[in-house]
Amino acid sequence: MFRHEKTFFHPTGIAIQLSTSEDEEQLKRKIKDIAEYEVTRVGEVLRIDLFFISHDSDEKDRFINTIHMVKQYSSKGIILDCNERDLLSAGLVLLKESRPAIFLRDELAENDIELALDNDASLIISARSLGELTEQSDRAKAAGVKNVILNMVSNNIGHQLQFNTILRRSALRKYFKPFGYPIFTFIHHGSDYDLLAN
């Protein structure tokens, strides 16, 4: 068996970000393209697995409309990134049967936990230090959240790789339970040149 033939029991999911401030027709085209996209590499068919919906529009309706569009044209998983609690709650209700994920940009709060538990959603907790991540992970588990995902915040891809390596080694070699959850990595870049520079 070759290395590339090894079966991954929990393969990495790839998500594409959708911004609610984008033109609706452009969003619709993007959603359709992503839903149909696939490429074959080394005998494996690669597809986009998830939509990452970021609400950055001044119009509240755009968030709900984008969720409806994704549901209409695709059956892929959805991650919701929205700082407006009422709006996020409304979006989660629409996706309750789909088991969405909530992306937290700020520190984990009690109402985040309530939203996750009430809507059977995963929680992507974000932190800028390993200590903060440990504390939030422990708090989520103690509150009964079963599906936690860890996000170490960094604008530098090299640092991101270091953090992810520490998280995995701590969980696998040191049996450190707060880091024994899946990892989320957000690639920030304005252009290909920015990505290379980082």
| CA–CA distance, 38 with 62 (Å, rounded to integer) | 28
The residue ranges of every structural domain in the chain are 13-103, 119-198
Signed CA dihedral, 40, 45, 46, 50: sign only: positive
Give residue-wise pLDDT tens across range 102-126.
999 999 999 999 999 999 999 999 9
* pLDDT given at position 158: 85
Give residue-wise pLDDT tens across range 43-64.
888 899 999 999 999 999 999 9
pLDDT category of residue 96 using cuts at 50, 70 and 90 = confident
Please give the full DSSP string across 17-78, using - where no structure is assigned.
EEETTS-HHHHHHHHHHHHH-EEEETTEEEE--EEEEE---S-THHHHHHHHHHHHH---EE
pLDDT category of residue 193 using cuts at 50, 70 and 90 = very low
Q: Tokens 């027709």 correspond to what residue?
A: 25
What residues have CB less than 8 Å from 36, skipping those under 6 apart?
Answer: none
Which of 9, 67, 74 has the alpha carbon at shortest distance from 47?
74
Give residue-wise pLDDT tens across range 147-168.
999 999 988 888 888 999 999 9
* pLDDT given at position 190: 58
